[in-house]
Amino acid sequence: MTVKHSLLALLAESPGTGYALKQRYEQRTGALWPVNIGQVYKTLARLEQDGLVAHPRGDDSAPFELTESGRAELSAWLVEPVPTAGLRDELVVKVLLALGTPGVDGRQVVQHHRRAVIEETQRITRTRRGEDLTWTLLVDSVVLRLEAVMRWLDRCEARLAQHEGAGR
């Protein structure tokens, strides 16, 4: 989680002091990524050095503002592609290894993981908080990622069944 760009985004909304920014940050991310106040001050100092944020009229006691270059940096970051998990996924490795291990029922291993995915989905679905948009979007992101894992596990089972059928 990049504290630097999150602070730029918050300053794009309105100016703020280090303490106020810490509070707004935790509000906006659903308190999922707590940040300590020292980290916020240190990051603001670096942003000021780089000319991305500034105190208005050089008044050190006034809340920080976003500069023009800060705004440009933020806009570029918001649309910059994010690296995906790629092929190295622990669950994938487990299932692949299970299939080749003697004495291990691959379908059973798949089913264990499928149950775990559902239980995690149930747990997170229960945290839904009515109309809270930030929280709903966070829950959606977790639930939909779990759905992708579930679909892969379903696919594993279907392919295994197909494979066993062909080998008969």
Pairing type for strands 65-66 and 53-54 reads: antiparallel
Site string for another protein, 79-118 (x = CB under 8 A): --------------------------------x--xx-xx
Burial class (CB in 10 A: 0-12, 13-18, 19+), 153: buried
Q: Does 144 bind another protein (CB under 8 A)?
A: yes
State both tokens at 143.
Answer: 């639930």
Report yes or no: 98 and 104 within 8 Å, Cβ to Cβ: yes
Radius of gyration of the chain (CA): 23
Among 19, 34, 78, 132, binds another protein (CB under 8 A): 34
Among 76, 125, 137, 164, binds another protein (CB under 8 A): 125
| Least spacing, CB of residue 88 vs another protein, in Å | 17
Q: How many residues bind another protein (CB under 8 A)?
A: 28
| Least spacing, CB of residue 115 vs another protein, in Å | 5
Contacts of residue 21, Cβ cutoff 8 Å, sequence gap at least 6: 7, 10, 11, 40, 44, 64
Measured CA to CA, the distance from residue 168 to residue 153 in angstroms comes to 23
Among 13, 50, 132, 154, binds another protein (CB under 8 A): 154
| Least spacing, CB of residue 6 vs another protein, in Å | 15
> Phi/psi at 123 (nearest 5 deg)?
-60, -45
Which residues sit at the interface with another protein, rule CB under 8 A? Answer: 31-34, 111, 114-115, 117-127, 143-144, 146-147, 150-151, 154, 157-158, 161
